[in-house]
Amino acid sequence: MSHLIVLGFDTTADAFRMRGVLAAMQTEENLLELEDAVVVSKSAKGVVRLHQPVNLTLVGALGGAFCGGALGVFFWNPLLGAALGAASGAASGLFSDIGVKDELMRDVGKNLDPGTAALFVRVRTSPSPQVHAGLRPYAGLGRLLQTSMPRELEDDFRAAIEGTPPPHHPPGEESPAPTTV
């Protein structure tokens, strides 16, 4: 089951730094399975931007150009096929929305203070104690705004991110519902 985690940061640079740390935990240490990690920033002028890890428009254009060029060979006009394929691929990439929904991220971005940022992370599995230990050197860099994790996992993750002591959960204690913003 995947979980959504939303972290708030005082600067866009801090949000990008945390995204890099989480990506490294996935690629180098195999501690996380990230489905999506998007930085949402709000400029001093109030403009909200989504910084996706993958440019879907570019990927669509490249894939469309390749397929269109290959198809164009059959019709003796590979350049025209590549151009049409690139245009249609870019259009489909532009309107694709994978991972965390753009509308949700824009709504949260509107509520950010100017000059601040949020990091939306969707993980396939709950962060483990090894992830919490890996985040402790960055404690205080951000704050937990929203999550879909169970309460005890949320508390442990919050402690790692915010640098607070983790609460004690007695065995058998029923956890409250996940916190949402």
Check residue 99 and report its DSSP letter: S
pLDDT-based confidence at residue 126 (cuts at 50, 70, 90): confident
Which percentage of the chain shows pLDDT scores above 70?
65
Say how far residue 41 (Cα) sits from the centre of its chain. Answer: 13
Cα–Cα distance measured from residue 58 to residue 163, given in angstroms and rounded to the nearest whole number: 39
In this structure, what token pair is assigned to residue 42? 């709000």
Check residue 47 and report its DSSP letter: -
Q: Which amino acid, 60?
A: G
Please tell me the pTM assigned to this model: 0.67
Cα–Cα distance measured from residue 124 to residue 36, given in angstroms and rounded to the nearest whole number: 9
- Tell me the Ramachandran region of residue 30: left when phi exceeds 0, alpha when psi lies from -120 to 50, beta otherwise: left
* Maximum Cα–Cα distance across the chain: 72
Domains of the chain: residue spans and CATH: 3-54+98-162 (3.40.1520), 56-94 (no CATH)
- 94/29: higher pLDDT: 29
- 108/12: higher pLDDT: 12
How far is CA 5 from each of CA 45, 79, 92, 116, 181, rounded to the nearest angstrom? 26, 44, 28, 17, 11
User: For 39-62, what is each residue's pLDDT tens digit?
Assistant: 999 999 999 999 887 543 344 444
Q: Is the pLDDT assigned to residue 172 strictly greater than 80?
A: no
